[in-house]
Amino acid sequence: MSNKEKIDLQILGKVRHLIPNNFIIERIKKHELQKNTGLVKTIQLRSSKRFTLEQNDKYDEFCDVLDSFTFGNDLEVIKQFDNFKETIKPKLMKGSTFGTINGVENIDLNTFQTKKGCFRTLQDKTNLIVFWSSLVPKSIRALQQLNELLKQNKDLKLQINPIAISLDGDFNNLKSYLRDNQIKEFEHYRFTFGWDSSNEFQKALELNYLPKIVVVGKDNYVVDVTTKSNKIEDIINTYIKTGESVQESEEIHQQKDIIEKETYKQIKQTLIQTIANQLSQNIKLEQSDFIKLNLIKSHKISHDGNQELIERSQLNIVYDISVQSEQVIIQFLNEIKTQLGNNNIHIQKQLIKDPNGIVKKISDAFQDALKQNNKVIQDYTIKTETFNYVNEKGVFQQDVQLINKKGIFNLKFQEYQTIYSQVQPIFKKYQEEIEESDEEHDHESEQQQDRNLINNNINQLTDTLRSGLQLTVGQRFQTIQNYHKFGNDQQIQIEHKENQILIIFYWNDNKDSDRLFPTIIKFLLANEDSFKDNVRFVALSQHKFDHYQHYFLKNEGIEEVIDFYFPIEENQTDLIQYNVNTFPHFVIIDKIGNIRLQSRQIEDLESLIEHQLEEGLDNLKQLVNLNEEQYNQITQFLQSDASVNLGQFNNKRQFSMNFIFIEFQCGENKTRLSPIINYTIRDGKQKYVETYLKLLNKVYSLIQFQVNKTTQKTLNFLFPGKACKLCQNELNEQTPQYYSPFIDEFYCVKCAEVFDTKAIGNNKLRVKDNLIFFNAPLVDKSVLNDIDVNRLGNNLKVKKGDPYSQRHAIDCNGCDNEIRGFRYIVLNCLPGKLTDMALVDFCQDCFNQIRQGGTHLEKIVKRTSMYGYNPSMLLLRIPFYMGYYEY
Ligand SMILES: [Zn+2]
Ligand SMILES: [Zn+2]
């Protein structure tokens, strides 16, 4: 024997006095062979008894002393003793005293008020205690199943005391779950601090794995602990019948084998020299097959360190394999039997599972459901061709996107629901079956293979089914189901009414959605009268209502302007139908119920809707699919000289145009939807486009196009003002001055630039509007005209509770420093289409240079010349930071 092998005995000798006398310590030498890990030799120490929960201090002391002796030894020794600690630590199990649980609070299911205290089992009843968390699906299932069992079986319920104790760290999660799901057969508690690794009780019951279901008898003794809800009825009934508490189960009682020393040696040799190779070279076994062979020699270590042999085992075999591998295993076992003899082999456990069979059953059920509904899975293609006008080149450039699909072509939502409701229970059944197949953790990775196989199969079938729902621009809108309105739990559908434009705004409480709300509110309020029945705007939320409670507190009143709806479930299928991958996401449905637009951002919603309102219902109804010849004629036109007429728009930010053709191909059948034109044009420049469209009309009637048109509205300013609104000082062409376009008033520099650092929030300023600065005298008067309405922003003020910060988290285009103090947005730079790129900003320092004609002005102009900046240009002053684009 090597020295290393004895180190554990030396250490054990030093701590033995800290272990109670009646604990038997066993030293087990094991040769273990597994398919994936090969042959491993280990020495284990094991105790026959555990410290009780009351002896926890003694256990801690034992661990401390033990650690001081194992410290500095090699990892294997440390691991060996860590495992030993596991066998001796306090653990609540069959036969333990359950005791009292501290640090819990009782929950009133009606009010959700809690009462702190402790929990004791009822002495005259059988107690059923479920430990669970709303974040662990498996534990939710167990609780629901038991709740159902008690609901159905009132006799059983009368005899027991059902308690559910949650380990949710966040009470809100738990509340929201209990509110939605009626778990009324149980009395509810929660651990005030959720899972807490320093809580002795939680550790002793291993509540890091959920669920744990404990049956505690009348005498506060644990009858049984399990993770399986379907065992509970039996456990309780047996207990009630016999009425007796059980003996501790882990103690070493049964007589163990001691085979002949020579025989043992021979088995060991064969295992090491031949069987290990035979197993590792057996390529016919599946990844998910589990097989374990071991050989054990074990001694009892007495208090004075003497060893007494208590076991010399046969070759033990455990396997859990798929049905396909059954023959392989039988053959393998026969080979071993031939080598070792029948008597020297002991099969401890054998399980034959059939994951491929389950996959087949799932697929068959899916095919059956399709057949019943007369649907087939097909290959089809969606081809989207976009012709984008490229300003620099003066031509249309083609871009083709092909989506190849395997799914059900043209699947309607109702049909999807019918099929899904047929297959979903079957999916669920097998999923649960495989997830709860085995309680043992010794071959977790092989079990995971099976779970993956089945879950992947289910996900793939679900995806295939769902993918047929996806709708493109140009197709008909389909009613959206399973939402409820703000402040009302009733389920409703989002429908389209003829002659009404429906705008669907998918949002979440993220920054990108948030910054759109001011514009949307302005848009809805300004058009309240004209919209009435003609335009309907709905905001559909990504998450369920509970997620947004804080948001609506902070943005009080927003729900009075916007119709908010919330999904009944997360990830509903409408997200697939309308291609919602990110939030925000707009879907616009026109008067006849065609999807006209699906997009993350819309440059000018108001203008777009204004033009759609002008469309005639009858015209829209005449839209027809495009045939091959018409398609060829239009695309030829797009590539012809006619586009010369668009050359007048030489600034790409002032004009954009594209044509979209969408074609479906399924087998031999081809369908091409009526073509789409998207274009954006500045106010007053319409005539240049009209010439082009007239030429197009000769090729293919314009009425047959779906046209999404946006007009960029512009403003002109009158300069100068006559006098300062506050001090009445005279203003003229020579005086630099400020102007509020929101109330149409001018201010002198002195009044407008007051900034009282001692005042609070907005009161730091005398004029609280966002102001435009005129850098008079103006060298270039053209800066007064053609200013985008959008560029002026919404004149927002900082929201209640938000900080009045002057750090704008935006870099200055003049000096690249982060903007602190006031932020100045150039109103004339980059005019036109408002994209993420479309602002030029200056900091306070650069502003001072611009205003005073300072030494750095030349540098600032040079750096911004690519955006067309000159120092006459108007600057919009934003006092406080409210978000990137919110001003
Ligand atoms: Zn003044
Ligand atoms: Zn700067």
Q: Could you tell me the CATH number of the domain that includes residue 486?
A: 3.40.30.10
Q: What is the rounded distance in angstroms from the CA atom of residue 38 to the CA atom of residue 275?
A: 10
Cβ of 755: how many Cβ atoms within 10 Å?
13
Indicate the residue among 556, 574, 601 that finishes a domain: 601
Residue 799 Cα, ligand 1 centroid: separation in angstroms? Answer: 28
Q: What is the tens place of the pLDDT at every residue in 721-732?
A: 999 999 999 999
Residue 758 Cα, ligand 1 centroid: separation in angstroms? Answer: 21
Contact by Cβ (8 Å): 613, 364: no
The SS3 of residue 632 is helix
Residue 803 Cα, ligand 2 centroid: separation in angstroms? Answer: 23
Could you tell me the maximum CA-CA distance found in the chain, to the nearest angstrom? 117
The SS3 of residue 165 is strand
Contact by Cβ (8 Å): 71, 33: no
Residue 816 Cα, ligand 2 centroid: separation in angstroms? Answer: 6
Residue 862 Cα, ligand 2 centroid: separation in angstroms? Answer: 13
Given a cut of 80, is residue 884 above it in pLDDT? no
Q: Which ligand is nearest to the CA of 753?
A: 1
Reference 288, options 36, 1, 637; nearest CA is 36
pTM: 0.70
Residue 877 Cα, ligand 2 centroid: separation in angstroms? Answer: 14
Residue 757 Cα, ligand 1 centroid: separation in angstroms? Answer: 19
On whether both 113 and 209 belong to a single domain, the answer is yes
Per-residue confidence band for 848, with pLDDT thresholds at 50, 70 and 90? very high
On whether both 758 and 865 belong to a single domain, the answer is yes
pLDDT of residue 834: 55
Q: Mean pLDDT across the stretch 691-714?
A: 93
What share of the chain has pLDDT > 70, as a percent?
96
Given a cut of 70, is residue 246 above it in pLDDT? no
On whether both 230 and 273 belong to a single domain, the answer is no
Is residue 720 assigned to a domain? no
Q: What is the rounded distance in angstroms from the CA atom of residue 358 to the CA atom of residue 432?
A: 12
Given a cut of 50, is residue 378 above it in pLDDT? yes
Contact by Cβ (8 Å): 243, 223: no
pLDDT of residue 835: 55
pLDDT of residue 376: 93
Show the domain range for 423: 356-467
On whether both 165 and 215 belong to a single domain, the answer is yes
Is residue 256 assigned to a domain? no
Give me the phi and psi of 719, to 5 degrees please.
-135, 145
Place of tokens 């036969």: 95
Q: Mean pLDDT across the stretch 35-40?
A: 85
Q: What is the rounded distance in angstroms from the CA atom of residue 845 to the CA atom of residue 814?
A: 9
Of residues 426 and 688, which shows the higher confidence score?
426
Highest mean pLDDT among 146-155, 601-610, 738-747: 738-747
Q: Which ligand is nearest to the CA of 812?
A: 2
Given a cut of 60, is residue 119 above it in pLDDT? yes
Place of tokens 């968390």: 133
Q: Mean pLDDT across the stretch 213-226?
A: 89
Per-residue confidence band for 462, with pLDDT thresholds at 50, 70 and 90? very high
Given a cut of 60, is residue 38 above it in pLDDT? yes
Q: Mean pLDDT across the stretch 47-62?
A: 89
On whether both 454 and 361 belong to a single domain, the answer is yes
Residue 718 Cα, ligand 1 centroid: separation in angstroms? Answer: 19
Ranges assigned E (strand) in 674-724: 676-682, 706-712, 714-715
Place of tokens 């059939």: 354
Residue 856 Cα, ligand 2 centroid: separation in angstroms? Answer: 10
Q: Which ligand is nearest to the CA of 747?
A: 1
Contact by Cβ (8 Å): 264, 38: no
Instruction: Give 701's contacts (C-beta < 8 A, 6+ positions apart).
Output: none
On whether both 335 and 381 belong to a single domain, the answer is no
Residue 776 Cα, ligand 2 centroid: separation in angstroms? Answer: 20
Exposure string for 301-323, b = 16+ CB within 10 A, e = fewer = beeeeeeeebbbbbbbbbbbbbe
Residue 775 Cα, ligand 2 centroid: separation in angstroms? Answer: 17
Q: What is the tens place of the pLDDT at every residue in 252-262?
A: 456 678 888 89
Q: Mean pLDDT across the stretch 619-632?
A: 93
On whether both 114 and 209 belong to a single domain, the answer is yes
Q: What is the tens place of the pLDDT at every residue in 429-460?
A: 888 888 766 656 677 788 888 889 999 999 99
Is residue 54 assigned to a domain? yes
Cβ of 14: how many Cβ atoms within 10 Å?
12
pLDDT of residue 95: 83
Indicate the residue among 405, 440, 467 that finishes a domain: 467
pLDDT of residue 252: 47
Residue 857 Cα, ligand 1 centroid: separation in angstroms? Answer: 27
Is residue 305 assigned to a domain? no
The SS3 of residue 580 is coil
Is residue 202 assigned to a domain? yes
State how many domains the chain has. 7
On whether both 543 and 564 belong to a single domain, the answer is yes
On whether both 417 and 506 belong to a single domain, the answer is no
Q: Which ligand is nearest to the CA of 814?
A: 2
Is residue 135 assigned to a domain? yes
Is residue 171 assigned to a domain? yes
The SS3 of residue 43 is strand
Residue 807 Cα, ligand 1 centroid: separation in angstroms? Answer: 27
pLDDT of residue 577: 94
Q: Which ligand is nearest to the CA of 859?
A: 2
Indicate the residue among 677, 712, 747 that finishes a domain: 712
Given a cut of 80, is residue 414 above it in pLDDT? yes
pLDDT of residue 836: 54
Alpha helices by DSSP H, listed for 507-627, are 511-514, 517-526, 528-531, 549-554, 558-561, 574-577, 605-614, 617-621
Q: Could you tell me the CATH number of the domain that includes residue 682?
A: 3.30.300
On whether both 104 and 7 belong to a single domain, the answer is no
Q: Which ligand is nearest to the CA of 816?
A: 2
Residue 879 Cα, ligand 1 centroid: separation in angstroms? Answer: 18
Instruction: Give 656's contacts (C-beta < 8 A, 6+ positions apart).
Output: 389, 678, 679, 680, 833
Half-sphere exposure of 315 (CA within 13 A, CB side): 25
pLDDT of residue 4: 52
Place of tokens 């004339």: 828
pLDDT of residue 424: 93
Residue 813 Cα, ligand 2 centroid: separation in angstroms? Answer: 6
Give me the phi and psi of 118, to 5 degrees please.
-135, 170
Is residue 248 assigned to a domain? no
Q: What is the rounded distance in angstroms from the CA atom of residue 68 to the CA atom of residue 643?
A: 86
AA identity, residue 357: G
Identify the H or E element spanning 26. strand 25-34
On whether both 578 and 529 belong to a single domain, the answer is yes
pLDDT of residue 649: 67
Residue 774 Cα, ligand 1 centroid: separation in angstroms? Answer: 15
Given a cut of 50, is residue 144 above it in pLDDT? yes
The sign of the CA dihedral 99, 104, 109, 110 is positive
* Cβ < 5 A residues, ion ligand 2: 812, 814-815, 843, 846
The SS3 of residue 880 is coil
Residue 435 Cα, ligand 2 centroid: separation in angstroms? Answer: 60
Q: Mean pLDDT across the stretch 802-825?
A: 92
pLDDT of residue 391: 83
Reference 771, options 736, 731, 799; nearest CA is 736
pLDDT of residue 35: 82
Ranges assigned E (strand) in 356-394: 378-390
pLDDT of residue 248: 47
Q: What is the tens place of the pLDDT at every residue in 561-595?
A: 999 999 999 899 999 999 999 999 999 999 999 99
The SS3 of residue 307 is strand
Residue 738 Cα, ligand 2 centroid: separation in angstroms? Answer: 20
Per-residue confidence band for 122, with pLDDT thresholds at 50, 70 and 90? confident
pLDDT of residue 361: 94
Residue 854 Cα, ligand 2 centroid: separation in angstroms? Answer: 13
pLDDT of residue 624: 92
On whether both 854 and 870 belong to a single domain, the answer is yes
Within its chain, how far is the Cα of 278 from the centroid? 46
- Mean pLDDT, the chain, whole residue set: 89
Given a cut of 70, is residue 631 above it in pLDDT? yes
